[in-house]
Amino acid sequence: MALPRASGILLHPTSLPGPWGIGELGPQAAAFVRDLAAMRQKYWQVLPLGPTGYGDSPYQSFSSFAGNPLLISFDALLADGLLTRAELEKFPVLPEDRVDFGAVIPARYAVLRAVTAAFAQRASAALQDEFRRFCARHAGWLDDYALFMALKAAHGGGSWTGWPAAYARRDPAALAAARERWRTEIDDVRILQFLFDRQWQALRQLARQQGIQVIGDAPIFVAQDSADVWANRELFYLDEAGRPTAVAGVPPDYFSATGQLWGNPLYRWDAHAATGYAWWLARLRRTLELVDLVRLDHFRGFEAYWEVPAGEPTAIHGRWVQGPGAPFLAALRDALGGLPLIAEDLGLITDAVHRLRDEFALPGMRILQFSFGHLGREPQQLPEAFPENCAVYSGTHDNDTTCGWFHAAPGASDTRAGDAVLAERAYILKYLHKRKATDIHWAFIRLAFQNQARLAIVPLQDVLGLGSEARMNTPGIPGGNWQWRLGRGALTRALKNRLALLTVATGRASHA
């Protein structure tokens, strides 16, 4: 896929400002889309949009198909007559500089339950017809997901492997009885999915009008405690109780000396192949209903993935296992009529991974923060060696912010010795022709935008020049992530103008 020369901003919707504890798909999201256009950007990159599970991570979702109800805009519900001001009067005062998930989840779901309870009475006839059409169109994933969430709620939120065996093993008679018993709860889940989809599609329509495309994110693996695994046990390596016999991760790398033990169940790729990769095709078709391009997370796992025996405390004792490779990507290409994908090819990448990526002409990724640790001894890693067919990032959601990374105390954010960190800083400043680290974030943004890579993406935190306090995620740390939010008024007119001028000057400006 040939990318245009363009640029964009990485910002997950949960980070948008607003009064209701978490970013929403309402007025603030619309304002950000207009800000992107004002900054002459072409792309808005988001993280996975699904309902979050363990650790509030968008990469540990209850479904690869569903949307996150926490993003549903209260303002839009008020405008549609589905919510009353009175139902918001007791909403708690929550911090606006971060997402307090422990407080925001129960507070928002209390409001959303009031919306679903009154939906039949408050929704217009046209809206109810739209809801019924949505349910019929998406029954292939929605029916299982709604039942899964209703059963999960009925069993105290516990993982499906701890449910009564008849439910865990999907006994047809038991599931039929469950659909009758929890009919209201199942309908509530459907209503929230409809409202999420309706609001997101309205936001995407505005983005199209403003010349903005959305880059989404598809994690290669899915959460064990998800409707994906519960409804498709035959597609994963599981024991009789539904527990994984081996789990996903990556070996020791830049982020962790013991690797990353993700814990996701592994795919039975032979079973996927026997269906013509039907589940993956359905998943990507649904994702492409929500976004324009898809960042295919952990692309190297499609060539070979790191298998860790279940029960291991770290990812050290794993092994590489052959992935689905070219037949899988060819099946996707033929069924989808192309591959609107960006390959996240970071980490321990082999020649075989490069060949697989290049065989399908997929743009890869390059991270400026990773370019300088060799102090010039590996010139192929420097920005001038990046290929045109790639997306260059100052950093990603897994990195510290550029300011935080550059100014961190030696050893604070990685395993390098202090002298190595200081030498790297000196080398970077020399490379950038800077005597001091003033505005180091803008130097990195400029480096990304001037690069020959067709696509340049920067996290909004870098545009704002924020430090480590604004980091979105620290891999390997289970708590305290995904909380950062944009402050009201922080994206000033001066910053927007500065980025717009740079975008035009580097030939990346949107023509909208």
Catalytic residues: 297, 344, 398
Sole residue written with tokens 């019929």: 136
Q: How many angstroms separate the CA atoms of 28 and 24, rounded?
A: 7
DSSP string, 337-351: TS--EEE---SS--H
- The answer for residues whose C-beta is within 8 angstroms of residue 242's C-beta and 6 or more apart is 160, 161, 168, 169, 229, 230, 233
Helix (H, G, I), strand (E, B) or coil at 3: coil
8 A C-beta contact, residue 339 and residue 360? yes
- The answer for residues whose C-beta is within 8 angstroms of residue 96's C-beta and 6 or more apart is 17, 18, 19, 485, 487, 488
8 A C-beta contact, residue 252 and residue 316? yes
Q: How many angstroms separate the CA atoms of 313 and 88, rounded?
A: 45
66 burial type by CB count under 10 A (0-12 exposed, 13-18 middle, 19+ buried): buried
What amino acid is encoded at 401 in this protein?
A: T
Q: How many angstroms separate the CA atoms of 244 and 350, rounded?
A: 27
What amino acid is encoded at 94 in this protein?
A: L
- Characterize 128-163 residue by residue with b for buried, 16 or more Cβ atoms within 10 angstroms of its Cβ, and e for exposed: eeebeebbeebeebbbbbbbbbbbbeeeeeebbbeb
Look up residue 87 and give its DSSP letter: G
H or E element at residue 393: strand 390-393
Sole residue written with tokens 């519960």: 230
What amino acid is encoded at 338 in this protein?
A: G
Secondary structure string (H, E, C) spanning 173-222: HHHHHHHHHCHHHHHHHHHHHHHHHHHHHHHHHHHHHCCCEEEEEECCCC
- Give Cα separations from 157 to 71, 96, 152, 164, 397 (angstroms): 20, 27, 5, 13, 28
8 A C-beta contact, residue 372 and residue 383? no
Q: Which two tokens stand for residue 481?
A: 């992530």
Q: How many angstroms separate the CA atoms of 216 and 289, rounded?
A: 10
Look up residue 475 and give its DSSP letter: T
What amino acid is encoded at 365 in this protein?
A: M
CA 386 to chain centre: 24
Helix (H, G, I), strand (E, B) or coil at 49: coil
CA 326 to chain centre: 25
